Amino acid sequence: MTTTTVVTPRRRGAVLLLGAQWVRYLSQIGGMIVLARLVGPAETGVVALAATLAGFAAVLGDFGLSMAALRAPTLTDAQRTTLFWANALIGVLATGLVLALAPPFAALFGNAFLVPVLALLAPAFALRSISAQFRVELNRSGRLGRLAAAELAGDLTGLVVAIVLAVLGGGALALASQGTVAAGITLALVVVLTPWHPGRPRRGSEMRGLLTFGGHTFVVHALNYASSVIGTLAVGTVANDRAVGLFSRATQLVNLPIDQLLTPLTRVVIPALADAADATSLGHRLARYQTQLSYPVLAYLSLFAVTAEPAIHVVLGGRWDAAAAYVPVLAVGAVFQTLGYPQYWAFVATGRSGLLLWCESIGRILTIVLVVAAAGLGPFAIVVAMAIGQAVLWVAAFLALPRTGVSSTVLLSASARPVVVFAIAAAVAAVADASFFTPLDAIGRLLATGGVWAIVGGAALGLVARRDLRSLWGAMRRR
């Protein structure tokens, strides 16, 4: 019987993974700009609506087993093989379920075109489930450069295929093909790049601990997914495809840097937290991660919130202008989401999946209830309800975090300075924009408002965040 042990990510591998993720982020932004010129809000809305059902396969297909495998101190070969086959089977079944539900889902929203869109979206999730254990193996063995290369190659290939199909008039089908092509390429590459390969299914491997942790994590992810897609479903119920497309694009623009950064960062952080000597050491590490995460993400959210109108007009084109109205409120919710991630890492690193489930249940269920209640008031009320839900989720985790041994105030202190700095910058820039810059053309308004934000933010950083800046610079130099 062979075992594998978690390898704390080496700096070079971690930098490669995070660097590749920033390349993926830039490619996503570039692709979004190009595809927004080729595919309109209404067709984008159809894909976003279909993705609410297709994404269910992603949640069900993983069943929380990837996170359970990633944080386990050791895994036997039998456990690794069982995890692979369990992921593959659940992923295929989930994809089949989505395809079976496609016709009634299309009938519910009165749009038969949802069926072919779902047929293109759904296979991506089976492919990702099959690749899950290979990606875990690369992560656990410290081969983060290989993992980064495989995922980056998949994303870039999917983007190129989507753009080509859109140029040829593929519309919504071009967008729907992107994820499936990316997942197929990534699967092929991780199979080649991973030294380990699964054998035949076996009985007798000890899976109880992994399944318990994975089950709790699955419920957390399911609640997270349900609360994230309820907004799209609610907008789709009370408005047309164009409104869904505008709402979806605004949400994507706000969340894209968060999604692109936090997913690979979690892969680096969880193994790095595994060897913390005690709760105090764990708290200090999490506080450092909180600081390093908050400055770049909150800077983006702050700047985008005050420049959304001219930025979207310049970057995506005039037909997307109405999406800007959602951005400031979505950005507030995203701030709480960002501040909550180190809390999530603390629950996972300490194995408190039940406590994590309790916190998530409070925030996510309340979000769903608020969105359903607000749906009749229109899309903007739905956005406000989602932001309130994110705030409640952060508060619940803040109150429960001490039960892991980690002080909530340590993380709060680490996030206070970036929140203050970028809140001040956003407030001053917003007042200047409303008072002086609104009559300008889009490019002039973008430059003027962004310039005020940069000046005020830079001054605030110099006054209250010098120590954090030195810490960030030191972390960058060590890497």
Residue 401 confidence (pLDDT)? 85
Tell me the pLDDT of the chain (479 aa) as tens digits.
455 554 445 455 555 656 666 677 777 788 888 888 888 888 888 888 888 877 766 666 555 566 666 666 676 777 778 878 888 888 888 888 889 989 998 898 888 888 999 999 888 888 888 888 888 888 777 777 788 888 888 989 999 999 999 999 888 899 889 889 998 999 999 888 888 888 777 665 666 666 666 666 666 667 777 777 788 888 888 778 888 888 888 888 888 777 767 766 776 677 677 666 677 777 888 888 888 888 888 999 999 999 999 999 998 888 888 999 999 999 999 999 888 888 888 887 777 777 777 887 888 888 888 988 988 888 889 989 989 988 988 998 888 888 888 888 888 888 888 899 999 999 999 999 999 998 999 999 999 999 999 999 989 888 877 776 666 665 555 55
CA 290/CA 284 separation, integer angstroms: 10
Residue 467 confidence (pLDDT)? 74
The DSSP code sequence of 234-298 is HHHHHS-HHHHHHHHHHHHHHHHHHHHHHHHHHHHHHHHHTT-SSHHHHHHHHHHHHHHHHHHHH
Count of alpha carbons within 13 angstroms of residue 72, beta-carbon side: 25
Residue 316 confidence (pLDDT)? 86
Residue 266 near residue 71, CB atoms below 8 Å: no
Residue 269 confidence (pLDDT)? 72
CA 350/CA 353 separation, integer angstroms: 8
Residue 135 confidence (pLDDT)? 83
Residue 218 confidence (pLDDT)? 67
For residue 84, the Cα-to-chain-centroid distance in whole angstroms is 23
CA 466/CA 474 separation, integer angstroms: 12
**Which residue, chain included where needed, has tokens 């989930």?**
94
Burial class (CB in 10 A: 0-12, 13-18, 19+), 196: middle
pTM: 0.72
Residue 236 near residue 109, CB atoms below 8 Å: yes
CA 213/CA 67 separation, integer angstroms: 8
Residue 240 near residue 43, CB atoms below 8 Å: no
